Amino acid sequence: MCGRYTQRHTAAAVAERFGLDAAPDFITPRYNIAPSQSVPVITERDGRNALACKWGLVPFWSKDPALGHKLINAKAETLAEKPSFKYALEKRRCLIPADGFYEWDKRVKPSQPLFIRRRDDGLFAFAGLWEECKLLDGEVLRTCTLITTEPNELVGAFHHRMPVILRPEDEAAWLNPAAKAQEVLPLLRPYEDTELEAWPVSTAVNDVRREEPSLIARQT
């Protein structure tokens, strides 16, 4: 499971990296993004653009927003089979801008949080799905989920899953609304471990209310 990540770049940097016409004002640097919070996603809806979505997917057919608490991640291996994800896999794929994520090494007590990023500390895109549903009160709710896969060697040393980080050359294919699910599923593979690095960080990240640069500082 992936339950925390960072996006520390400015809106202008995100817009440039992902080919947006403008820098959305709801994109701000974040150091401890958590489920149920509003996060930016990149879609090909009426051209490439950014939407604000609540992290935790609620399928279009559901009227229960609480379902999102159970669907913050989606396993790449079973996406095409699960009723909660099948429609979004075909019609509502998205990129989730990020520049790092946290995992917890549970082999030690208490669990040790680690921060993982690209070695160049650059922006990247998690593979995601988004949805839009109308609740009983008429509110339109936009939500998303982050896709996970088997870990690479680096992450596998301390966790059994990792988020799917798309290669830059695969991002357009993942977003392509004309592509069928079976065509894009092969893109959902572990990222090269040689391009990532990880280090232990403070347990302060356990508190979702904390949101400061020191959260990613290396602990010795």
- Provide the annotated active-site residues: 2, 103
Beta bridge partners of 5: 33, 101
Q: Show the tokens assigned to 197.
A: 């690095």
Size of the chain, expressed as the number of residues it contains: 220
Angle, CA 52 vertex, CA 49 and CA 55 arms, to 5°: 125
116 residue type, one letter: I
Integer Cα distance of 211 and 169 in angstroms: 31
- For the CA atoms of 10, 120, 166, 101, what is the dihedral angle to 10 degrees? -70
Integer Cα distance of 149 and 138 in angstroms: 35
Distances (CA, A) of 19 to 7, 171, 212: 17, 11, 28
Q: Do the beta carbons of residue 144 and residue 55 sit within 8 Å?
A: yes
Integer Cα distance of 22 and 1 in angstroms: 32
Distances (CA, A) of 46 to 49, 60, 61, 140: 8, 19, 22, 18
